[in-house]
Structure 1
Amino acid sequence: MAELAQRLRARLRDDTLDPKELTECVEMLLQLEEPPEELCEEFLSHAGARLETELAALEAELPPADPSGAATTPPPASDILDFVDRGSSAFVGNLCLLAASYRSLFEGCPGVGEGRLEAFAAALTARYFELLERRLALERGLGDTSLLVRALDRFHRRLRALLELLPTAGAEAGAALVARAAGERVARYLRALQTFFLGCLGDVRQALAAPRPPGKEGPGLPDLLATLSSSVLGQLKAVLAYVQLFTAKDVAFASLPYFKGEFCVEAVREGLVVAFVRWLCRTARGFADSPTERGAPAAPPALLLLLARLCLDYEATTISYILTLTDEQFPPEDTGPAVTPGPALCAEARGAAQRLLDHYVQVQGAAVAQMLRKSVETRDWLGTVEPRNVRAVMKRVVEDITAIDVQVGQLFEEGVRRAQSSDSSRRAFSVYSSSRAPGRYAPSYTPSAPMDTHLLSNIQKLFSERIDIFSPVEFNKVSVLTGIIKISLKTLLECVRLRTLGRFGLQQVQVDGHYLQLYLWRFAADERVVQGLLDEVAASAAHRCLDPVPMEHSVVELICERGKILILSFW
């Protein structure tokens, strides 16, 4: 019997024994009444060496750990499902067999310490989880999400079989590993959505800046907006469909509490959908808030207008649709964490749209104002000749305002205009009055002294409605055009106040002002705004004139009619 025991012990030290042969060998030694404590030690030592070999084989497939986290690591030779299959069939499968054999061999044996198997298995499973984490970290791209879900599902199923034998072998760590892998994939989808949106914006900017052959028009703003909106929404719906694979009914880990509650709310709804909508609003708003770096091209005004319309559409319908779709596909629990309400997101989108539209008005108003400022500053108003024509810059201003009217009208509704007087385009300007009251002809005064003229102008301002130049605009065309016109005419007023004019300089201002009145009133929400600002321009010119002799109104009308241009007007 002693010789048989020695032969069995010699065989026990053979590294080529498989788990079944190891179990048979130890079982016979126990029948020969060999010390259970020694056999337990040798059993775990032999099993540990075999399992360590299997872990080493898995680790050999992984590149060395890079503490810097650089993305220069070459892609793995096999996919994640193949890696998990080998780990599950070899390491986890053998660990299950050895755990079952250990319990059948040493259960109730005296001298065998309690918890030795649990500690032995916990150390090995911790190493296996670490290797699997490293392999999952190599999944840098989006790849095939269904492949990742199948791999995690297979890992979870085999781990669940192990936990039936060893409940303390890492249940929480395994569930946390699956949750982290799913959360990391959702985070990558968020980054992919952001990259996709920036790419779409780049396409829009390229389409806006592309030169057009003569006679061929490019895509209009409505087409660009529809393409951008549908592309982003379609991509978001596709991402939700991919993420929904993690909660499919045939996936074992979908029954975990994390995937029933926290994953649906915090990872998908808040971490993906809400985070993307907020990022989109911040990105769009950044075109208005961020100062342009030196040498960097500023955002084209058409892009500001398009993004304002996009954010307004999100506020009106898109956000509600996206949140409803998300809640249907990933229903939150009644007792789950609090979620971001839809109205809060809509308010952010509307705020971004308002900021973009205000910035559009400021940019376009500044462009027109710059033309007017240069035209005033570069002219000799004392030595100018008697006016015979409307200055070319005034015609350019009307052309630019008309083009802006067409551009804004492509994306925004007309808006409400104040009832127009029947003679808006025929109204005359007095260089001695800044009254903003509408009428066929502004009252013409002939004061006894220049001081009286200035005093009369200031008195009339007390009874006129104050014009807020930089007030927020409404989401309609006439409000946008009114804001641009106010900025332009206010700039003209301030520039005239800084010049000294002769008689003919005053008359040129009179002609230019009448020409602007003929056309600009029809773009504004209230014609009195245009009339009032042009009245102030004329009054300031008269106050700064050394010889304030105005031109006859009939002559002014004749000059303006001669310089009349064809303009498309949209009412």
Structure 2
Amino acid sequence: MTESANENPLNIDGNNFNSEKYLECLMKCATLKQVMDKEAEVITQSQFLQSEMQTLVYENYNKFISATETVRKMRSDFQVMQEEMNKLSENINNITTFSSQISENLKDSGNSVNRLCNTRQLLDKLQFLFLLPTQLNKSIEAGRYADAVHDYTHAQRVLQKYGSQPSFKSIQVECLEIIGELKKTLRERLLTPETSASELAESVSLLRQLQETDSSLQDIFLHCAGSRLDQHLKKLSDCVDDMDILEWVEKCNDTLLADLGIVISCYDEMFQDQENANLPEFANKVMSQVFCLFEDVVKRPENIGTDLLIRGLDKFFRKLQAMSEIISTDTVCVNAQEIVIKCIKHKAMVLQLTIHTQFKENLMRVRQTLASKGTENADLKDILNSLQVYLMQKVQASLLDFMAFLQTNLSFGLKTWCAKAVADACWTVISETMVNLSTMVKSMSCLQPSNNIPFELLLVLAKLCLETQENGVTTLHNHLVKLLEEAVPGFKLENKDTNSVIIHLSTAAQCALDSEVVYIGQTAAQMLRVSVLARDWLRAPEPRGPRAVCRRVVETLASADSAAAQLFPTSMKPSSDSSRRTIWSRAPSSFSPLNRIFSERIEVFSPACADRAALSNGALKVALKALVECVRLRTFSRHGLQQLQVDVHFLQQRLSCMGNDERLLNALLEDALASAQLRCVDPQLMEASIVDIICERG
């Protein structure tokens, strides 16, 4: 693009600019005003360029003058330097001449001085040998074992070479006795538990210099080091219940791990030319005990706080990384990763148990509230929202709590294995929380008849499981993915099995719904059963209105229907029965057993649906089926049959207003009335209009 612009003859800044063509093109394409403006622009630019060129000329002229003066000054300075260099060369030649003369004059004296020096050194060595036993005793008494060994090894070669001579033999024997005692002292210091790691290393090093065998020294060194480290382990074990995790880790790092590092470093330094077969086993044994103690510290309730746990874990992990560089095996590094993963898993277990316990306590408060207020005053939707928000917030807070393990300033924060462990732990919290919720709902559903749990609570829990199944699990999963992406960019969460969690929630919701339906149905059925079996229907008086038990049954079913209406929508369309107006005057023959064979079968204990009408119909089937079965066990008089006719009509009027399935309702009530007719000694039903009047008065 730049080359084509330079070759353009109309480009005023190009190398191939043609003024005539440019002027001709300008005259053809531009107006007079544009030409005049272009002229003014060109004049302005020309003046600006001329000013810049003049400035550059002045600047270059000043630089030229300055350079000329500098060259002139350098020429004069070089002349002075040349004169000084000539003088220096003359002085060096004179010094060389004088030095040669002095060396010649002192040659004989130097040889004499060398002989005297050699004689002096020999006398010093002899004096050192004669004073060696005394010097060794002084050093040993003062505890300066290293100086004693150094002096002995320095003179050992001379004593071995000239020990056979009488003047040196006594010195050699005395030195051997002193060194024997020193070896005994060093071995005793090795076996003393109070000896520090540096003193152990010093003792072993001195014994090696005294030509002790390496195999025995290795065993002694590791045995003594193990005894000292066992003391540290005992002290750390005693501190597990008295310190928080940060204090315990600091003490472990400063005592046991520091001494272990010194032991290993000294061992490698002292026996570097030997095979270290026992060292890895020794180090792994000590570290395994340290890991067990650390796990005990982590499991203490006081150390479960995230900030305290992470600070202690980070400091411990950094020390283990340093130890892994000292120990030649990979066991420490692997165990360090495992200890971090175990801490994350333990944190997940504690969090999900905490959520479960707190949710259970919250649920008990809700249960007490429902038991005290009742269905009429309790806002079930508000209770559901509070439970759902509480559960979701607790789980989300736990997930956010885990992200602290992925901080960039931590030694394990950005490790892939740590991110995977955090992701697994977060999903464990989500899944276990939902499974615990499902298990708790199932348990409460199974204990419903004996534990007197409010049926409203079962409806709330069923709705909670259903909404969590539909939206909650997916929301938490997406929230976890977002948190992991923010904490560890590029990390991909592996596919988690959400289906099993959803199945648990769905099963729990079904159990709660079934239990609620059975509970309401059996409550109403028990009232009907007692009222039918305890009454003498052969001596029944003429009916004056529906019995009180019918009103209680209607109130029970209405209360359950009202509670279900707050939580579950009505999606089923109620079916109408056009024969409702004439069922009370049918002949008993129309309800013969043969006709029942071809009638539609009613599943009394079929699974309940998450629908208001379905729940009401389910409880209705249980209650009225019990009525039918109890009626079949009794014998009725005419007034008894008519009383049952009034009760059935009352139930039909009141229960059909709740949105129940009229066909189902009428079928069961017809079956009850027909069974009474078949069991009646004088089966005469009242007119429908009379039944209506009696029910209205009642």
Q: Indicate whether 1:497 and 2:656 are aligned.
A: no
Match of 2:242 in 1: 77
User: 1:244-393 alignment to 2 at 5 Å?
Assistant: 244-254=403-413, 258-262=417-421, 264-265=423-424, 267-269=425-427, 271-290=428-447, 297-330=451-484, 340-393=496-549
Q: Distance in 2 between matches of 1:352 and 1:553?
A: 46
Aligned equivalent of 2:9: none
Of structures 1 and 2, the one scoring higher in RCO (CA 8 A, sep 6+) is 1
Q: Give 2:651's aligned residue.
A: 516
Q: Which runs of 5+ in 2 are unaligned?
A: 1-131, 150-181
Corresponding position of 2:153: none
User: Aligned equivalents of 1:238 and 1:142: distance in 2?
Assistant: 19
- Aligned with residue 232 of structure 1, among 380, 385, 391: 391
Q: Which stretches in structure 1 are left out of the alignment for 5+ residues? A: 63-75, 434-452, 564-571
Q: What is the correspondence of 1:413-562 to structure 2 with a 5 Å cutoff? A: 413-418=569-574, 420=576, 427-433=581-587, 453-454=588-589, 457-462=592-597, 464-562=599-697
The TM-score with structure 1 as length reference comes to 0.80
Alignment of 1:29-428 (within 5 A): 37=214, 51-62=229-240, 76-108=241-273, 112-137=274-299, 139-140=300-301, 143-168=304-329, 170-210=332-372, 219-254=378-413, 258-262=417-421, 264-265=423-424, 267-269=425-427, 271-290=428-447, 297-330=451-484, 340-418=496-574, 420=576, 427-428=581-582
- 1:312 maps to a residue whose letter is L
Number of residue pairs matched?
516
2:35 is matched with none
- Cα separation, 2, equivalents of 1:468 and 1:48: 76
Counterpart code for 1:281:
S
Letter of the aligned partner of 1:115 in structure 2? A
TM-aligned CA distance change 1:350 to 1:26, over 3 Å: closer
Render the CA deviation track for 1:446-479: whole Å, top value 9, x for unaligned: xxxxxxx436634544554332222222211111
State the secondary structure of the residue aligned to 1:253.
Answer: coil
Distance 1:124 1:492 in 2: 76
Partner Cα distance (1:196, 1:374) in 2: 42
Q: Deviations over 1:200-251 (max 9, x none)?
A: 2211111112268xxx975422222222222122222222222333333332
Equivalent residues of 1:375, 1:393 under 8 A apart: yes
Query: The residue matched to 2:538 in structure 1 has which SS?
Result: coil
Output the CA distance in 1 between the equivalents of 2:237 and 2:644.
Answer: 84
Taking a change above 3 Å as real, the CA distance of residues 247 and 496 of structure 1, as seen in their structure-2 partners, is: same
Query: Could you give the per-residue CA deviations for residues 233-292 of structure 1, whole angstroms, max 9, x where no partner exists?
Result: 222222222233333333223455642435533x442x3321221121121012223486
* 1:448 counterpart residue number: none
The 3-state SS of whatever aligns with 1:515 is: helix
| Aligned partners of 1:262 and 1:337 also within 8 Å | no
**SS of alignment partner, residue 96 of structure 1:** helix
- How far apart, in 2, do the equivalents of 1:528 and 1:121 lie? 82
Give the direction of change, closer, same or farther, for the CA distance of 1:560–1:56 in structure 2 (3 Å limit).
closer
Could you tell me how far apart the structure 2 residues matched to 1:24 and 1:470 are? 86
Shift of 1:166: 1.5
Relative distance call for 1:490 and 1:419 in structure 2 (3 A) is closer
Q: 1: distance between equivalents of 2:625 and 2:222?
A: 89
Spell out, residue by residue over 1:415-469, the C-alpha distance to the aligned partner (whole angstroms, 9 max, x if none): 2223546x88x72433535xxxxxxxxxxxxxxxxxxx43663454455433222
Residues 1:113 and 1:397: Cα distance change in structure 2 (over 3 Å): closer
**Corresponding letter in the other structure for 2:643:** Q
Query: Aligned AA for 2:305?
Result: D
| Cα deviations by residue, 1:474-532 (Å, 9 ceiling, x for unpaired) | 21111111112222222222222221111111211222222222221232443111122
- 1:2-56 deviations in Å (ceiling 9; x for gaps): 85596326596497886667767877887x7755837767765665565455444
Instruction: Measure how far apart 1:340 and its partner are.
Output: 5.0
Contact between 2:341 and 2:421, CA under 8 Å: does it hold in 1? no
Preserved contact between residue 298 and residue 304 of structure 2 (Cα < 8 Å) = no
Cα 1:93–1:540 shift into 2, 3 Å:
same
Name the CA shift for 1:428/1:217 in 2 (closer, same or farther; >3 Å): closer
Greater C-alpha radius of gyration: 2
Deviation at 1:199, TM superposition (A): 0.9
Aligned partner of 2:254: which letter?
A: S
RMSD: 3.5
For the residue of structure 1 that corresponds to 2:584, the secondary structure is: coil
Counterparts in 2 of 1:504 and 1:175: CA distance versus 1, 3 Å: same
Larger % of helix: which? Answer: 2
Alignment partner of 1:252: what SS?
coil
Write the letter of the residue equivalent to 1:197.
F
Looking at structure 2, the residues matched to 513 and 56 of structure 1 have their Cα atoms a distance apart, in angstroms, of 82
Residue 566 of structure 1 is matched in structure 2 by none
Shift of 1:406: 1.2
Displacement of 1:542 in angstroms is 1.6
* Contact 2:481 2:493 survives alignment (8 Å): no
CA gap of 1:499–1:188, structure 2 versus 1, over 3 A, is: same
- CA drift of 1:342 comes to 1.8
CA distance in 1, matches of 2:576, 2:415: 68
User: 1:51 & 1:268 partners in 2: Cα distance?
Assistant: 38
**CA shift digits 1:519-558 (9 cap, x unpaired):** 2123244311112222222222221111122212221121
Q: 1:558 to 1:25 in 2, by over 3 A?
A: closer
- Relative distance call for 1:562 and 1:56 in structure 2 (3 A) is closer
